[in-house]
Amino acid sequence: MFSITNLVSGYGQSQVIHDINLNVEKTEIVAIMGRNGMGKTTLFKTLMGVLPRRSGSIRIDGTEIGAMESYQRVENGIAYVPQGRMIFSHMTVLENIQTGLPAKARGKVPEELYALFPVLYDMRGRKGGNLSGGQQQQLAIARALATEPKVLLLDEPTEGIQPSIIKDIARSLKEIRTMRQLTIIVSEQVLSFTLDIADRFLVIDKGRFVYEDTRANVDAPTISRYLSV
Ligand SMILES: Nc1ncnc2c1ncn2[C@@H]1O[C@H](COP(=O)(O)OP(=O)(O)OP(=O)(O)O)[C@@H](O)[C@H]1O
């Protein structure tokens, strides 16, 4: 459904992503685990077109998006929740969500988004900057979902968030995956969160995948070793 083939990217003289290949099925949740600086954010930026690819292919349902502008990639069904959330702090919760809505929605937020994250309904008139970290993360996810994606990328969603909210986010993601038939790729350093949600696990090390296994066979101690070196 979503396929990455021989993807290469980097900054200036330095190559960061080395020939990455990945196929993700519809409704599958894949976790990309790795320490700081291993290339998770660079991979996601390349998938979104924030950073140009050097070579390789990125396809959604067979459509090549690798040469498109970011907004065209979004129109083709990919959405991104960046590390640090990047919500608009001077805009209200409602306005933040509306930035993700397609024109045809005419500014109306789908009920199901508020059903997934009731706190966002309660806080819809508040400025984004006044929300807690966990609420901001839910807002960033809702804003991405407003674009009606087929593939959702989440970059370290648990960073700086308290454990009870992490559990809520895990539950919402599993729910939305079923509800929307969504494919999810999540980058993380927190293994407990991904063990809760992922169907498949990969470890990225210096821009290459060095470990891959399914939920049934996952070797948590090996992944932990990669995360702690
Ligand atoms: N704008 C940039 N210019 C040059 N090099 C960069 C830039 N951003 C990241 N890098 C380098 O690319 C490599 C991968 O960084 P990246 O941010 O993708 O890692 P990460 O796995 O997402 O880690 P983190 O959790 O710290 O964001 C690192 O060596 C980093 O120093």
| CATH number reported for the structural domain that contains residue 158 in this entry | 3.40.50.300
Q: Using 50, 70 and 90 to split pLDDT, how confident is the model at 164?
A: confident
Q: Using 50, 70 and 90 to split pLDDT, how confident is the model at 21?
A: very high
208 pocket-lining for ligand 1 (C-beta < 6 Å):
no
Domain hosting residue 196, numbered range: 2-83+148-228
Residue 203 domain flag: yes
Q: What torsion do the CA atoms of 33, 206, 140, 130 make, to the nearest 10 degrees?
A: 100
Ligand 1: which residue has its CA nearest to atom 6? 11
Bridge partner residues of 214 (DSSP): 200
Which residues have C-beta within 8 Å of that of residue 228, sequence separation ≥ 6? none
Tokens of residue 142, six digits: 């809702």
Chain segment 143-152, per-residue pLDDT in tens: 999 999 999 9
Is pLDDT larger for residue 41 or for residue 105? 41
Residue 172 domain flag: yes
Question: Of all atoms in ligand 1, which is nearest to the CA of residue 45?
Answer: 18
CA of 123 to the centre of ligand 1 (A): 34
Average pLDDT score over the chain? 94
Residue 143 domain flag: no
What is the best residue among 7, 8, 11, 206 to mutate for testing ligand 1's pocket, by most ligand atoms within 8 Å of CB? Answer: 11
pLDDT at 85: 85
Residue 7 domain flag: yes
CA of 8 to the centre of ligand 1 (A): 14
How many domains are there within the chain? Answer: 1
Residue 122 domain flag: no
Residue 112 domain flag: no
Chain segment 47-60, per-residue pLDDT in tens: 999 999 999 999 99
Answer for the pair 136, 62: CB distance below 8 angstroms, yes or no.
Answer: no
pLDDT at 104: 86
Residue 123 domain flag: no
3-class state of residue 196 by DSSP: helix
Residue 131 domain flag: no
Ligand 1: which residue has its CA nearest to atom 30? 37
- Residue identified by tokens 């290459």 is 208
Distance of CA 32 to the CA centre of its chain: 10
For residue 52, count other CB atoms closer than 10 A to its CB: 11
